[in-house]
Each structure stands twice: as structure tokens, then as C-alpha cells.
């Protein structure tokens, strides 16, 4: 799909609707960042696209009925998420990282576009050009002294439906928070109010920082190129990348667990299987002796005391599973992968925050020069629940994995307990992955039977 097939119709700046709701109240006009946020300061933003099918959708219906409702609901949603309408910058008094909001100029930029591309070729599980989804995302402004928090794009596909794409600064939102925001917007658009589980908690006092770890991280980022604290790391995808979605049913996940043996979670089973398939698909192209899998662990329930599950911001810790490439390529690769993941997850220290001041330095040394796969998203975000009133999305894609060298995880749309996996590879490797993925599942069925 060439970029020319997407035409920008208009760009709106949607401000938060006036509100006196206690849930939306934050003290002052700046929301401070925590060290959980600061560690992601210069990482590329996270990006997703949601596809909504409405057959025979016309421009007039989209413009007169759908778009006004989306804009109004967005304004109402920002009552509860006012920092998302601001900018990441420096606090004028403390000099620390913060999100500035509550000014007359606040608002989320909402780009409205129209595409002549084939909606169904983009909203499919089938292999497609990875770059084709980027035109469904709006620009994201980052300068030396400030950065956008969230930008949005709604794209009409006449006769087929529309898409909603978001780009979110990783220092402002982790995956769970971004998913909550989208589901909150959808809920307000659909039913006009938020249930308790989607009522965001913005209070920062839950995260104690007696060692000024946030400042430690900020100072380290300042010393790293490129110049300008807010300049994001350049992580350009390789040319010619393809994107595909692969599915594991609940039954297949059970078969993987049986193959591994012992007690393993569905997450460990799925990640072990995908990790081994990725290594085998790369063949001899991995030059490192060892290979790693980066795992982001939600710490909301792990802090002492635990913080609310609907806390908005970042609250994840990165752990690395590590093993030898040849071990994953062998017949016991699945068991080896699961053991490495369980060791990494189990290595989270007591109290979670022990040694937190060293996280950024440790991450730099752990991943520098190493072959590492990452995991984007989670099967527990319930992204297919984002129904704006015209039905659930027919497809959700995590676009940003093509820059991060990661695979994405999402709950399956129509299979409770199933998981969708997003993979980005070149043509040769994605075809190899597809074959290895299918043959591995078939072998498990044969062995079990």
C-alpha cells in the first residue's frame, strides 16, 4: 500500500471537556514522572491500530454520525485522563521531568484521514507489508525540550469501515495504561460512563523514590546521544519487512504445556514456543552464542504495599531470559526456553525495587551487543473489548514491533483462552517461521496421540 492512498482530511485538537469530577482532579498543572517512567524516556513510542468493520460505510455517515461521536467521547474521556492532553517537559520549579497540562492550549491531536487501500488486506492475519500500517498513524512531535504524550488518527475506508491508531510516548504510559485509555474512550463513546475498573488513578505518591532514582535515570539519558533529553533513540525497521499474525488456541497452548511438562503458565508456554520458533527461523543468521528474551513484568501488584490496578503511568520491570542458541534449536529447546523464562521471572528480587537505581545501567550492559527478542503487549489487556458502539474491532495490530525487534501478544478475538502473536520478519524468515510454527504444533498433536 503506497502512502499516497491515505489522504489527510483534517486535524483536530480535542481538549478535555470541563470537569469538576474528583476522579479527574490532580494537584497542580504538572504530573511528575516516576523512575518507572524515566527509564523509558528515549525509547520509541508504542503504536497500535484497531480496525472496525462497517460494511457500506459512506463518507457522509462517517462525517455526520461517527466522527462527531468519537470527538465528543474523546473530550469527555480526557476529563479523566487530563495529562494525556498535555506535553512531556521539565517542571519550571523543580527542574524534574513532568507532564504539563491544564492550560488553554491543551488537547490531543486527532488526525482524520481517508484511505483507498483494501481494508480487508490490512485487517487480516495474512502476511502483508509491515510499513503499510504506518500511514494509519499520525505524526508524533518530539523536540529537545518537550514531547507529545499521545497522538491519534481515525482513518475512513469507504464501504468497509474505519481504523483508530494511537502513538503513545513510552515514558508516559505503559501498555496496560494505554490499553485502559483506549477502552475508556470506547466505553464513554458507547455507553457514556466508565465502570470502576476503567476509572484511572493518576496519583504519583504511590511510587516512593527516596534515592532520587528518577534523577539518576534522567542524568544518564542526558549523557547519551543524540543531543536533547527528549530525542528518541533511532530504531529504524529494516526495508522489506513483512507482518503476520499467528494464533494459538487454548487447546494448542495446553499441548505446549504438556510438551514442556511440570507446572508452567500459559504466558511461559506461549513465549517459549514463539522464542524457539524465532531462533529456528533465523537459522544461522544469529552470530551470538547466546540469545535473550526481554520480558516486561507488571509490578502494580508486586509493590509493597500494592498500588491500584488502574494506576496510569509506567509500572513495569524488565527481566531478561538468556540461553544458548543451540539449546533452543535442539529437540529440548522448548523445555530449555521455559526454564530460562521461569528463572528470569523468578529472579525479580524481594520487594521489587531492590537495586532499582541500577536498572538503566544494568539494561544497557545486559542487552548491548546481544541478540535479543522483546515482547510487546499482553494477552491480558483485553484490547478486543474496545467497542465504540459499532462492534468490537475485527483486528488489532501492534505496529511498533517492527522497530523494536519484538513479537506482540494479544488475546484472540473469538477464542477464549487463545492468543494472537504478531511477527515481523523479512520474506524468507517469515515463511520459515510459518512452516516451523505449524510443523511444531502438528508434531505435538502426533506425539500426544
* CA–CA dist 346, 21 (Å, integer): 41
Tell me what the pLDDT averaged over the chain comes to: 91
Residue 381's pLDDT is 96
Per-residue pLDDT band at 234 (split at 50, 70, 90): confident
Q: What percent of the chain has pLDDT over 70?
A: 95
Least confident of 11-15, 27-31, 121-125, 368-372: 27-31
Catalytic residue among 29, 298, 387, 415: 387
What does the pLDDT look like over 127-173, one tens digit per residue?
999 999 999 999 888 888 899 999 999 999 999 999 999 999 999 99
* CA–CA dist 445, 449 (Å, integer): 6
Residue 224's pLDDT is 82
User: In the predicted model, what is the mean pLDDT of residues 179-186?
Assistant: 98
Residue 349's pLDDT is 63
Sheet holding 46-53, edge to edge: 6-14, 108-115, 150-157, 161-168, 46-53, 395-398
Q: Is the pLDDT of residue 322 over 80?
A: yes
Query: Quick one: cell of 359?
Result: 536498572
Mention every residue, 6+ apart, whose C-beta is less than 8 A from residue 184. Answer: 77, 80, 81, 194, 198, 200
Name the 3-class secondary structure at 264.
coil
Question: What's the angle, vertex CA 174, arms to CA 169 and CA 180, rounded to 5?
Answer: 105
Q: Is the pLDDT of residue 26 over 70?
A: no
What does the pLDDT look like over 56-106, one tens digit per residue?
999 999 999 999 999 999 999 999 999 999 999 999 999 999 999 978 888
72 counts as catalytic: no
Q: Give 247's strand partners.
A: 420
170 counts as catalytic: yes
Q: Which domains does the chain have, with CATH numbers?
A: 3-222 (3.30.559.10), 242-448 (3.30.559.10)
Query: Quick one: cell of 212?
Result: 532520587
Catalytic residue among 170, 174, 209, 402: 170
Amino acid at each position: 500500500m503506497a502512502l499516497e492512498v491515505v489522504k489527510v482530511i483534517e486535524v483536530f485538537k480535542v481538549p478535555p471537556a470541563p470537569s469538576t469530577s474528583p476522579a479527574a482532579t490532580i494537584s497542580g498543572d504538572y504530573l511528575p514522572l516516576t523512575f518507572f517512567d524515566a527509564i523509558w524516556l528515549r525509547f520509541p513510542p508504542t503504536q497500535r491500530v484497531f480496525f472496525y468493520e462497517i460494511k457500506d460505510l459512506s463518507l457522509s455517515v462517517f462525517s455526520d454520525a461517527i466522527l462527531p461521536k468519537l470527538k465528543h467521547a474523546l473530550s469527555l474521556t480526557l476529563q479523566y485522563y487530563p495529562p494525556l492532553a498535555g506535553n512531556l517537559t521539565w517542571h519550571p520549579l523543580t527542574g524534574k521531568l513532568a507532564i504539563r497540562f491544564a492550560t488553554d492550549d491543551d488537547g490531543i491531536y486527532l488526525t482524520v484521514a481517508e484511505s483507498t487501500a483494501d481494508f480487508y488486506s490490512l485487517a487480516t492475519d495474512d502476511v502483508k507489508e509491515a510499513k503499510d500500517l504506518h500511514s494509519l498513524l499520525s505524526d508524533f512531535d518530539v523536540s529537545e525540550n518537550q514531547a507529545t504524550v499521545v497522538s491519534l488518527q481515525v482513518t475512513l475506508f469507504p464501504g468497509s469501515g474505519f481504523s483508530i491508531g494511537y502513538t503513545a510516548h513510552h515514558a508516559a504510559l505503559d501498555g496496560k495504561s494505554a490499553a485502559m485509555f483506549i477502552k475508556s474512550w470506547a466505553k464513554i463513546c458507547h455507553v457514556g460512563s466508565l465502570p470502576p475498573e476503567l476509572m484511572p488513578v493518576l496519583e504519583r505518591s504511590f511510587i516512593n523514590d527516596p534515592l532520587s532514582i528518577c534523577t539518576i535515570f534522567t542524568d544518564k539519558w542526558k549523557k547519551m546521544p543524540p543531543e536533547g533529553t527528549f530525542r528518541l533513540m533511532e530504531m529504524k525497521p529494516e526495508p522489506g519487512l513483512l507482518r503476520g499474525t499467528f494464533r494459538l488456541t487454548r487447546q494448542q497452548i495446553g499441548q505446549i504445556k504438556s510438551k514442556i511438562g511440570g507446572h508452567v503458565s500459559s504466558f511461559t508456554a506461549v513465549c517459549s514456543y514463539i522464542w524457539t520458533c524465532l531462533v529456528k527461523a533465523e537459522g544461522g543468521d544469529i552470530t551470538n552464542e547466546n540469545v535473550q528474551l526481554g520480558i516486561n513484568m507488571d509490578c502494580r501488584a508486586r509493590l509493597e504495599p500494592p498500588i491500584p490496578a488502574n494506576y496510569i503511568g509506567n509500572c513495569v520491570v524488565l527481566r531478561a531470559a538468556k540461553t544458548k542458541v543451540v539449546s533452543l534449536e535442539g529437540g529440548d529447546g522448548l523445555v530449555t526456553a521455559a526454564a530460562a523464562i521461569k528463572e528470569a521471572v523468578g529472579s525479580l528480587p524481594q520487594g521489587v525495587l531492590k537495586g532499582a537505581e541500577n536498572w538503566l545501567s544494568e539494561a544497557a550492559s545486559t542487552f548491548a551487543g546481544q541478540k535479543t527478542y522483546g515482547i510487546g503487549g499482553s494477552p491480558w489487556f483485553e484490547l478486543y473489548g474496545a467497542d465504540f458502539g459499532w462492534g468490537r474491532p475485527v483486528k488489532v495490530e501492534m505496529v511498533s514491533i517492527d522497530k523494536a525487534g519484538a513479537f506482540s501478544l494479544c488475546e484472540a478475538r473469538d477464542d477464549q483462552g487463545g492468543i494472537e502473536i504478531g511477527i515481523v520478519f523479512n520474506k524468507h524468515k517469515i515463511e520459515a517461521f510459518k512452516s516451523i510454527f505449524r510443523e511444531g504444533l502438528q508434531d505435538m498433536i502426533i506425539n500426544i496421540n
